[in-house]
Chains A and B, each alone.
Chain A
Amino acid sequence: MYKIIDKKNLASGIVMMKVKAPFVAHKAMPGQFIMLRVCEGGERIPLTIADYDREEGSISIIFQEVGYTTKDLGKLEINDSIRDFAGPLGMPSKLDGFKKVLCVGGGVGIAPLYPQIKYLNEQGADVDVIIGARSADYIILQEEVHNYASHSYIATDDGTLGHKGFVTDVVRELIDKGNKYDLVIAVGPLVMMKAVSQMTKEQGIPTTVSLNPIMIDGTGMCGGCRVTVGGKVYYACVDGPDFDGHQVDFDEAIRRQQIYKKEEQIQHNCRLY
């Protein structure tokens, strides 16, 4: 059992939990993920690590209550325990040796980006950050990011905060202004990562995206998380979750994300909240 030592509602339906998991915290690096199971009979889901504190032995996760399991998870409170919590899994992000990096986080995608921004800043990189969301109510980690970013920007679909429109508009603007990035990292919904990657491909800026496909074990055993990158098939859990955004077959990834759409519906109908 893994005790929840802190919990905050960051925005409407977006929750931060700090979980006591000393072994995971000891090893965790930016970009890696954990697998958790809320309760007996529960589903195993992957969540990217949003922060880690080696001294405290804790891992922070940030999630949006969208599916059955994340809603279940959201019901737990401080001092409750999560049944299973395993990691750190996947390869750490490759963040060394960059001078100027643009980080683009869409929705809760900013959560896994946060430790990367911190790390890049500690390595002396100049980091610009764009946070995107549907509206101001869904913007999270604005202040935390601000502490480590050279410049931070906000884009909301409805214009309730920052730029009205998509993160890609801001990416375009920053590039047009003459900013020379040697890396762009985009984390968020697949459609957003696809759009950012298309734009940076035209500009020839290396771009990393973090994929979060359906998986069961997270250790390479099930093969459910296979993604096509540059025409080759990879397992996101062991080869990723970071991949070259210019090479990822996003359409396939988007399609594979929908495999259990129908079953999710059944689940919701069976157990009304």
Chain B
Amino acid sequence: MSLALTRIPVKEQDPQIRKHNFKEVSLGYSLEEAIQEAQRCIQCKNPRCVAGCPVNVYIPRFIAYIAEGQIDEAAQVIKETNNLPAICGRVCPQEEQCEARCILGIKGEPVAVGRLERFAADYTMSKQIQTPTTVAKFNATKIAIVGSGPAGLAAAADLAKLGYEVHIFEAFHEPGGVLVYGIPEFRLPNELVKKEIEELKGLGVEIYTNTIIGKTITIDELIENGYKAVFIGSGAGLPKFMNIPGENLNGVFSANEYLTRINLMKAYDFPNSHTPIKKGQRVAVVGGGNVAMDAARSALRLGAEEVHIVYRRSEEEMPARLEEVHHAKEEGIIFDVLSSPIEVLGEDGWVKGLKCIRMELGESDSSGRRRPIALPNSDFILDVDIVIMAIGTSPNPLITTTTKGLKTHSWGGIIVDDETGATSKDGVYAGGDAVTGAATVIQAMGSGKKAAKAIHEQLLYGEKIRHDSK
């Protein structure tokens, strides 16, 4: 048997067309394409891909079903461990996880696990098949989940399937967390997130929006009110700025704000949608992660003539997914790497330009990446009217400052036990960005699942298991 070394390509919207709309870039596989791609999988006896998945989806099994054309069965296999396959199929960094470990990747291209996962999820969703999931009867034990992003949703799904009465508390008016406020429509349509959340509600999970834990209700009050365990998945927090002059000029935004206006509040449809946004002619986005790519490509779709990514290291060090960088370049985003902003220039209170300085790479730092060093007298000015800062976030203090006995790192992240997600406070668990700082959707989901398991064990066996395991 000869191995197919290249994967079946996926259709995408033409870059020249898609840069003017918010529709999905990748169009996904057709049934025939999916089956062909699935047949490339050699069904390893010891599948390394499964270990590469933070939620351990049984990859070869679902791919085998697709290869046989049994798509519903494939979706069911995925959902045994992952309740949000349409989302993960789109936004997981498969190239660093499952696909990175695929044996076919040694000599050729790995099996397109992400595309196949997306296909299975979309296929069953479009046929409106409710993949049956077994839910145990309510066991009358209430569990509170703080935040309805990927960490909270994953924890909620697993706990609901075990029969717990799960209540999710969401600060925004709509559930989904970063999936709806952060990741743009062209990567992850909100409609699809809604559908996957609806399925979760089908498991009996209740979602309370407009409820800010730490303000409307505190963690301690949740416990007093009979919740036997609390999982905190409150996500990333306050956007970081660079502390350079001119950052408070009109026209400087955090990526959080820019993306929330566009994605959650649908500002691209202003004035039909009532939330406005500044449409720049020339936009600079500072940062090299996925959020920076999302902000840059969103600005382009709002009608900007020119969009720059300004990143202080080289392209090699960029934390963004290769695919996102590739898509951004195809659409005409200009990459100013080895450049760092030193001042936002203004006129009459509005952004007029971004003064940057050239960098070179020195020795490796603690993160293993080469440290950027400014080159003297190398400053230059980017002629832009909007500057978007996409350089990360620091944890939100709303919960940690209002919860007694919840320990945090000096940088604000909640301290947890790696294995269980247990915090320093009894019955309180945490996961996702609130613990790790900015990370990926699937890592957050993985931490939610881990905590769900730990909560279940704790509630079943109580203190006993704790002592035994120590």
A contact residues vs B (CB 8 Å cutoff): 23-24, 27, 37, 41-44, 68-69, 72, 83-89, 216-217, 219-224, 226, 228, 233, 235, 238, 252, 255-256, 258-260, 263-264, 266-267, 270-271
* Contact partners of B261 in chain A: CB under 8 A: 216
Please report which residues of chain B, range 135-183, place their CB below 8 angstroms from some CB of chain A when the two chains form the complex.
171-173
Q: A23-B217, A221-B256 are in contact. List 20 more A-B contacts (CB 8 A).
A: A23-B211, A37-B173, A41-B266, A43-B265, A44-B265, A44-B275, A68-B274, A86-B212, A219-B396, A220-B238, A220-B398, A221-B238, A223-B254, A224-B253, A224-B257, A226-B241, A255-B250, A263-B270, A263-B271, A266-B270
The complex places the Cα of A264 from the Cα of B261 at a distance, in Å, of: 15
Residues of B within 8 A of A85 (CB): 210
Provide the B245-269 mask, 1 if CB < 8 A to any CB of A, else 0.
Answer: 0011011011011001100011000
Alpha-carbon distance A223/B148, docked complex (angstroms): 21
Q: Which residues 387-424 in B have Cβ within 8 Å of A in the complex?
A: 396-398
The A/B interface has a contact count, at CB < 8 Å, of 120
Chain A residues contacting B247 (CB-CB under 8 Å) are 233
- Does B355 interact with chain A (Cβ within 8 Å)? no
Q: Which residue of B lies closest to A220 (CB)?
A: B238
B212 with A223: CB separation less than 8 A: no
Q: Which residue of A lies closest to B171 (CB)?
A: A219
> Can you pick out 10 interface pairs between chain A and chain B where the beta carbons lie within 8 Å of each other?
A43-B265, A83-B173, A86-B173, A89-B212, A216-B261, A217-B172, A219-B396, A222-B256, A222-B257, A226-B241
Greatest chain A CB density within 10 A among B209, B210, B238 is at: B210
Which residues on B sit within 8 Å (CB–CB) of A264? 276
Taking CB atoms and an 8 Å cut-off, the chain B residues in 215-233 that contact chain A are 215-217
Contact among B209, B216, B260, B272 for A24, CB-based, below 8 A: B216
In the complex, the answer to whether B349 meets A255 with C-beta atoms within 8 Å is: yes
Contact of A86 among B211, B251, B266, B277 (CB under 8 A): B211
Docked-complex contact A84 and B173, CB < 8 angstroms: yes
CB distance from B183 to the nearest CB of A (A): 15
Query: Which residues on B sit within 8 Å (CB–CB) of A88?
Result: 215-216
Contact A44 B173 (CB under 8 A): yes
Contact pick for B250, options A24, A222, A259, CB 8 Å:
A259
Instruction: Determine whether B273 belongs to the interface, using a CB cutoff of 8 Å to chain A.
Output: yes
**Which residues of B lie under 8 Å from residue A233 when comparing CB positions?**
241, 243, 247-248
Alpha-carbon gap, A252 to B215, bound state (A): 29
Q: Are A84 and B274 in contact (CB under 8 A)?
A: no
In this complex, which of B215, B236, B349 has the most chain A Cβ atoms within 10 angstroms of its Cβ?
B215
Q: Closest approach, in angstroms, between the C-beta of A1 and any C-beta of chain B? A: 10
Q: Is the interface of B mostly helix, strand, loop or mixed?
A: loop
Are A226 and B248 within 8 A (Cβ)? yes
Min CB gap B194→A, angstroms:
13
Give chain B's interface residues, CB within 8 Å of chain A: 171-173, 209-212, 215-217, 236-239, 241, 243, 247-248, 250-251, 253-254, 256-257, 260-261, 265-266, 270-278, 349, 396-398
CA A222 to CA B388, docked complex, whole Å:
12
In the complex with contacts A223-B254, A252-B248, A89-B215 CB distance below 8 A: yes
A216 and B212 contacting across the interface, CB-CB below 8 Å: no
A221, B215: Cβ atoms under 8 Å? no
Q: A228-B248, A259-B278 are in contact. Are A220 and B237 (CB under 8 A)?
A: yes
Closest to A38 in B: B274
Chain B's closest residue to A21 (CB) is B210
Q: Is the CB of A87 within 8 A of B265?
A: no
Q: Chain A contacts of B276 at CB under 8 A?
A: 43, 260, 263-264, 266-267
Which of B209, B239, B397 makes the CB contact (< 8 A) with A223? B239
Contacts of B248 in A (CB 8 A): 226, 228, 233, 252, 256
**Contact A87 B173, CB 8 Å, known A238-B398, A267-B276:** no
Complex: A85 Cα to B171 Cα, angstroms: 10
| Docked-complex contact A217 and B260, CB < 8 angstroms | yes
In the bound complex, CA of A43 to CA of B260 (Å): 12
CB distance from A63 to the nearest CB of B (A): 16
Determine the distance from Cα of A88 to Cα of B218 in the docked complex, in whole angstroms.
12
Cβ of A86 and Cβ of B237 under 8 Å apart? no
Contact status B216-A23, CB under 8 Å: yes
Complexed CA–CA distance, A270 and B260 (Å): 23
In the bound complex, how far is the Cα of B265 from the Cα of A129, in angstroms? 39
Shortest CB distance B4–A (Å): 45
Interface hub of A88, A220, A270 (most chain B Cβ within 10 A): A220
B25 to chain A, nearest CB (A): 25
Known A-B contacts A41-B274, A86-B216; A221 and B210 likewise in contact (beta carbons under 8 Å): no
Report chain B residues within 8 Å CB of A216: 257, 260-261, 265, 275
When C-beta atoms are compared, the residue in chain B nearest to A84 turns out to be B173
B239 CB, nearest partner CB in chain A, Å:
4
